[in-house]
Structure 1
């Protein structure tokens, strides 16, 4: 849970203070956009490297190194020097990307009978701290002369706390990798060569594309439907709170479905956010119902995608490889979503066609999820 708390806070703190950073460092709008998007690009790029690190160093050592890189990056990003801002942001993205891959492997190894539940709990944890970081960013920046630098840098402490909890696991016999080594065969099938591995990766990529498109543009969609700009922004907080609860519920349902697979759950979870988009199209005045359905659906689908890393793998090493593959593909695809939806809005001068495009995206998402949800493993 301490590791999970670090997975999004250092990213969500940037958005509310982006204007302050730009004014202080004389950054252009394009540079500010790069500051926000660089960690997401790192998520995809470093997800390819992380499985090799976990295989060579073990999950604990890899996690400690990644947390240390994250802490250094957070501090460097807060320094009064523009190159440090970019170098620190790169370290933040690399550290979180590595932890994104290592954590599902740790869950598979240490909680093999409760993959869904533990995935739901750590997903809820990361969402909670992400929301807290966004909420306290502006007030924290206003209570100290260093302004946004303090609001950025304080989150290094969270990484140090996690290091303090994980580091004792590195000592000799207490290292869990030593106990789990016998469970990993000398040769096992890489997910890149498996149809099931690609089904999981495509499901992760398509649901991530939908999620990041919604997070980026839903306030604008609501504003176009008559909701005030301030209220539309506040609705994102409602979405996050509903998502935290949905993550916990989805995790328990996923564990209960293990003998028969998760294909039915995929359909149910995806239908929630599908109904939200349809509802926004036909009855935008019922925003409360749609934002709650959207929050529950996107969170439950996300937890399902993360759970597949452990459920569709035979052991934690294969789970790390599947996690790295799916997240590299998934975040690479997700980066195109908001840009494509925004371009479609510009061309059509409205939100009807972009929302219909999101609905169309649900068809291959559900298809891949149903296939990935079958009770089988890679190899």
Structure 2
């Protein structure tokens, strides 16, 4: 009998090598596309802060109105997240991710138009596009990399930090190319357009249907799948949501106000902006390794507690000696926030048994979480205005870390959402 028809004898079947190479190439293309998209998911927000003073001067905005340019996207991350399940059912995950990149590019370019209306309209479009992509990405990673979700989530959160660092660090130098802040911000549409081009092979592929009831694919939900409302009262899903909200509140509050804190203590504005950008680099390192370590360290809550200690040490340093020790404090801040961000995103995947449930938990955690996070910059600004200093605002951020640890301990428990319900259904 020919070897070609005797696979049971343990010999390789002709064509297996080619199929494996093809599968490996497809996975590499998919991973590259996902990471390039992830790179764009903070650029539209992080690029505004470095030129916020130019925007205020050019449009005559008050500090409160100008701060909306950094807080509106965060609220949009939450509000528009709840549209994602319906859009995914109609379009599929892959096509929807491609469309978010086109919408992101359009929103960035819209801010090029003169007038306040186009500036804020573009900001809303940017926030909406990122919101949908935020929710879809964990489910897409769970679906495409079921057995490598941990490393992929680490790379995903690393790409988020890298995109924020590039936008924070390069926007001011790009003023030499753009001339003024409007064309300079519009230049950030180019990475979104490139991301769509890289994602094009996934965008044009036919949606894949699955026959397994609890396996989400690139298609509408099948009958028998768990509805979204079922996760809204699940304790694990609630813990993951609370953790996402609290750590995001801390992140976006410091993103908005740390440069102002450093400037109030005598640091030149360009150096303050650079230090904020610098904090992303230790964040990149932490976000890359934290999910890998979290799978090995016991007790499971130790990594999230360590992230709170690192971040709290940074807050203490900024309160005591903000300028002389700035590099140390921003290193600690980056390490703490990188760890907490990557873990909160990873818990969305780890606490879900499949991609369908990942989509539900991602919608809940990022929808409600970012709505909560948007209150942070506004609230801290109000506390600063009322007290006239940074000691009490930093103490308030320290208080948030206590909540972060409590929710992180609950989210780190190694069990899946709706585990009890599924056991009942199976029984």
For normalisation by structure 2, the TM-score amounts to 0.79
Q: Deviations over 1:19-72 (max 9, x none)?
A: 444555555555433333221221111011113322332211111221221122
In the other structure, the counterpart of 2:382 is: 343
In the other structure, the counterpart of 1:243 is: 283
- Pick aligned residue for 1:41 from 75, 80, 83: 75
Asked whether the equivalents of residues 241 and 366 of structure 2 are also in contact (C-alpha less than 8 Å), the reply is: yes
2:396 paired with 1:363: no
Shift of 1:80: 3.4
Shift of 1:132: 1.8
Change (3 A) 1:54 1:261: farther
2:234 paired with 1:200: no
In the other structure, the counterpart of 1:254 is: 294
Q: How does 1:260-271 map to 2 (within 5 A)?
A: 262-271=300-309
User: Which ranges of structure 1 fall in alignment gaps of 5 or more residues?
Assistant: none
Q: Deviations over 1:87-124 (max 9, x none)?
A: 32221111111111111111111122232321221222
- Pick aligned residue for 1:327 from 352, 360, 366: 366
Could you tell me how far apart the structure 2 residues matched to 1:230 and 1:28 are? 21
- Pick aligned residue for 2:314 from 276, 279, 291: 276
Asked whether the equivalents of residues 71 and 377 of structure 2 are also in contact (C-alpha less than 8 Å), the reply is: no
Q: Deviations over 1:132-180 (max 9, x none)?
A: 22333233233356x333322222222222222323224456x456598
Change (3 A) 1:328 1:77: same
Change (3 A) 1:142 1:99: same
In the other structure, the counterpart of 1:302 is: 341
- Pick aligned residue for 1:74 from 87, 103, 108: 108
Q: Deviations over 1:187-210 (max 9, x none)?
A: 226321311111111111111122
Greater shift, 76-85 or 239-248, is seen at 76-85
Asked whether the equivalents of residues 60 and 167 of structure 1 are also in contact (C-alpha less than 8 Å), the reply is: no
Could you tell me how far apart the structure 1 residues matched to 2:53 and 2:283 are? 28
Change (3 A) 1:338 1:149: closer
Greater shift, 280-289 or 161-170, is seen at 280-289
Asked whether the equivalents of residues 169 and 274 of structure 2 are also in contact (C-alpha less than 8 Å), the reply is: no
Asked whether the equivalents of residues 50 and 172 of structure 2 are also in contact (C-alpha less than 8 Å), the reply is: yes
Q: Tell me the number of residue pairs that the alignment of Structure 1 and Structure 2 aligns.
A: 375
Shift of 1:324: 1.5
Q: CA RMSD in A?
A: 2.7
2:406 paired with 1:373: no
2:125 paired with 1:94: no
Shift of 1:215: 2.5
2:255 paired with 1:215: yes
In the other structure, the counterpart of 1:183 is: 215
For normalisation by structure 1, the TM-score amounts to 0.88
Asked whether the equivalents of residues 72 and 374 of structure 2 are also in contact (C-alpha less than 8 Å), the reply is: no
Could you tell me how far apart the structure 1 residues matched to 2:41 and 2:257 are? 23
In the other structure, the counterpart of 1:128 is: 162
User: Which ranges of structure 2 fall in alignment gaps of 5 or more residues?
Assistant: 1-34, 217-221, 419-427
2:92 paired with 1:58: yes
Describe the SS at the equivalent of 2:279.
helix
Asked whether the equivalents of residues 261 and 373 of structure 1 are also in contact (C-alpha less than 8 Å), the reply is: no
Could you tell me how far apart the structure 1 residues matched to 2:265 and 2:58 are? 35
Could you tell me how far apart the structure 1 residues matched to 2:91 and 2:173 are? 40
Could you tell me how far apart the structure 2 residues matched to 1:57 and 1:2 are? 21
